[in-house]
Structure 1
């Protein structure tokens, strides 16, 4: 099977985790190649990041509302997407041991949106970020991935995984350590990114907490996947070549010749000697309306 067909097949029949990974990779490759072409052409590629990343400025966000979703699938650096997708793959598989496929998709998306909202609110409310909202943007899948990590850790806090150099670690300690690192890293670097991570983590915790109480937050969005759009009917168009003057005259002459032969037969043998077909031809010829 050709590589492209194999990729299409694995995307079509793969799990939602596979689809999320493929979408992230596709966005990374497509825009990476586009930046190469723009660089060769001597054009700027900064507009790509601006159009895909979520802005902290509310006035800009109103003009780019789609970035609340696109930012969680967009990466620029190879190491950035590598670590995010590794975490997504490991904890996505673990997530699917306890949750449904569609829950994975919606925790990913809602975690990303939650991270974006906390990031935007922080840059517009907290004094530490005063004046930075107009020039700040965020992108990457980290908030979405952390929502999945914390959701699993909240549901199965004592589930043990084995980490390189560390050995067996319970999920609750891994999630707690990740959150603490994000909190203490806010004043050091990438403050907006760490705040978005915390927003994703908060969604994962709230999601499972409400799920235990009998409320699945994601169910309010399941209808989107069930939308059925009417299929456009294809109009069948049959093309008939226009009849030329030569064809028309030839057909008319043959028809008249056939009528003359029938009339000669009547003169020789009488009307009753005609066949049923010959009578029909003669009847149609005598009943044409001429205006």
Structure 2
């Protein structure tokens, strides 16, 4: 891969600094810089950007930063620093938009079910704003509806994964025949096959709630980053904009 390119070097440094600060100040950092549901009192407009530098643990930041370096380096060399940063943050913001939109859908579905069961909206909001819930709510709708409703309001999103999924898509479209050697696969697999399957698995997990990657993953943020990455790559290629560098 060669030396670390300028944009990726600075992104790595900022992410590591945020991780160290989170290790020191914990809950305060998560409260300020994670991406909260807009109706939650912890929400701040800056979080659509700051959440990209927050991570939930060592393995989380390790895999994200490795992917940023491995797949982002060829793109920055091809595009130039400024164009890479534009793409990276656009994919990350797109991930935040899709994630928040899905959260609004889940929140409204749960609230509608509770209102239909006779609960008052202000009563429900008072309970969840205190970080609580009523066991009776699970009698008003399916377990998944109420679980998604509570998660949408109470669970913040952290991580660079949305932006990195955009980078993965761009890498796959730019270097489709590159062979990837993965720990869990004993044979190399071309990027044009692996990356679509990875995104499809996230979409499957987001829709069904069945995750092979573990719990606590913002699958639709991954899908959103991939979608915005694909749209940008498709538009750039269509307009021959992909040939331009922004140094």
Fold similarity call, TM over 0.5:
yes
Matches within 5 A, 1:54-203: 54-58=35-39, 60=41, 64-126=44-106, 127=109, 128=145, 129-164=148-183, 165-186=185-206, 187-188=209-210, 190=215, 193-203=218-228
Question: In the TM superposition, what whole-angstrom CA distance separates every residue of 1:131-182 from its partner, at most 9, and x where no partner exists?
Answer: 5432121001111111101011123323333334433321111111211221
Give the gaps of 5 or more residues in structure 1.
Answer: 1-9, 36-44, 226-291
The CA distance in 1 between the partners of 2:186 and 2:81, in whole Å, is 30
- The one-character-per-residue Cα deviations of 1:176-231 (angstroms, maximum 9, x if unpaired) are 121122123230354661110000001111111000122759x9xx8xx9xxxxxx
Q: Hey, what's the Cα distance between the residues in 1 that align with 2:195 and 2:238?
A: 22
Contact 1:57 1:136 in 2 (8 A): no
In the aligned structure 2, how far is the partner of 1:192 from the partner of 1:135? 14
Number of the residue aligned with 1:210: 235
TM score, norm. by length of structure 1: 0.61
Alignment partner of 1:25: what SS? helix
Per-residue CA distance 1:219-275 (angstroms, 9 max, x = gap)? 9xx8xx9xxxxxxxxxxxxxxxxxxxxxxxxxxxxxxxxxxxxxxxxxxxxxxxxxx
Determine which structure has greater relative contact order: mean sequence separation of CA pairs < 8 Å that are 6+ residues apart, divided by chain length: 2
d(CA) in 2 for partners of 1:46, 1:18: 27
Query: Residues 192 and 168 (structure 1 numbering): CA distance in 2 closer, same or farther, change over 3 Å?
Result: closer
Which residue of structure 1 lines up, in the alignment, with residue 29 of structure 2? Answer: 48
What number of residue pairs does the alignment pair up? Answer: 198
Cα deviations across residues 69-117 of structure 1 (Å, max 9, x unaligned)? 0000111311110111111111012323432222221222111111111
Please state whether the residue corresponding to 2:78 is helix, strand or coil: coil
Aligned-residue Cα RMSD (Å) equals 2.7
| Secondary structure, aligned partner of 1:137 | coil
